[in-house]
Amino acid sequence: MQARILITGTSTGIGAATAREMAPGNTLCLHYNSSEREADQLHQLTDGLELLVNNAGGVVQRESIEEIEWETIEEIFTLNAFSTFMVTKLVLSLLRAGHHPQIINMTSVAMRTGSPSAVMYAASKGAVDTFTRGIAKSLAPHIRVNSIAPGVIVTPFHEKYTSEEQLEQFRAQTPLQRFAEPAEIARAVRYLYDSTFLTGATIDVNGGMYMR
Ligand SMILES: NC(=O)c1ccc[n+]([C@@H]2O[C@H](COP(=O)([O-])OP(=O)(O)OC[C@H]3O[C@@H](n4cnc5c(N)ncnc54)[C@H](OP(=O)(O)O)[C@@H]3O)[C@@H](O)[C@H]2O)c1
């Protein structure tokens, strides 16, 4: 069956790769850097949704807890956590009208390990991880909800936020001794999409950077 899929943050990186992975045979609605009002307007485009991928996100700024200002904390949580909560809420009626609908949230290995240079980013992704399990329970059995926690992926994300020195440290902490391509995360989206008995799960795709 042709699925109707909404993916946020598809201009580059993991979102763009996920769009390419999921495009064949499906109808895609792609979002990047827009407002929540557009999620409302989605109602005019489709009468149901099979998959929502809450992918848009970013570090905003690397700062220690001593330096960070309230406005920056608000911006980080708005981009990574509040947007995920609100987009989910806004398209819930479309998902309820879909066939075997599901939600996939993009978090980060940082929410597992903590991040001294991006404490609020890691905390905002932790909020999304907890949100994932909460709504997996409250939306069951009709809607499945899972998340993916990527390690270091080669995307414009690190051009914006990470120094060469930090990248070297991340590589040293990764047993597979390399970073991943965005397509390797897109394949995890496909895996979750096809895994009909999975809900409330967090899939760690991080080259061994975090194990449990
Ligand atoms: N790359 C990594 O190593 C890594 C690791 C762990 C988790 N992640 C997570 O994976 C997701 C995708 O990241 P990526 O690596 O693919 O980064 P990316 O290439 O920088 O893509 C980020 C996407 O989010 C969108 N976005 C950024 N700020 C936005 C805003 N204020 N409003 C709406 N959209 C906004 C961007 O849109 P515009 O281009 O239009 O601004 C872009 O499409 C993020 O949630 C990120 O936290 C990435």
Q: Does 211 reside within a domain?
A: no
* Ligand 1 and 208: CB distance under 6 A: no
Reduced 3-state DSSP string for 16-81: HHHHHHHCCCCEEEECCCCCCHHHHHHHHCCCCCCEEEECCCCCCCCECCCCCCHHHHHHHHHHHH
Q: What's the domain range around 192?
A: 4-203
Q: Does 135 reside within a domain?
A: yes
Q: Does 44 reside within a domain?
A: yes
Q: Does 153 reside within a domain?
A: yes
Q: Does 209 reside within a domain?
A: no
Total tally of structural domains belonging to the chain: 1
* Ligand 1 and 12: CB distance under 6 A: yes
121 is catalytic: yes
Q: Does 210 reside within a domain?
A: no
Distances (CA, A) of 82 to 74, 95, 146: 9, 19, 17
CATH code, domain carrying 106? 3.40.50.720
Q: Which atom of ligand 1 is nearest to the CA of 12?
A: 19
Residue of the nearest CA to atom 8 in ligand 1?
A: 108
Q: Does 208 reside within a domain?
A: no
- pTM value is 0.96
* Ligand 1 and 155: CB distance under 6 A: yes
Mutate to test the pocket of ligand 1, among 6, 11, 21 (most ligand atoms within 8 A of CB): 11
Q: Does 212 reside within a domain?
A: no
Residue of the nearest CA to atom 23 in ligand 1?
A: 9
> What is the pLDDT tens value at each position of the chain, 212 positions in all?
899 999 999 999 999 999 999 999 999 999 877 555 555 777 777 899 999 999 999 999 998 889 999 999 999 999 999 999 999 999 999 999 999 999 999 999 999 999 999 999 999 999 999 999 999 999 999 999 999 999 999 999 999 999 999 999 999 999 999 999 999 999 999 999 999 999 999 999 999 999 98
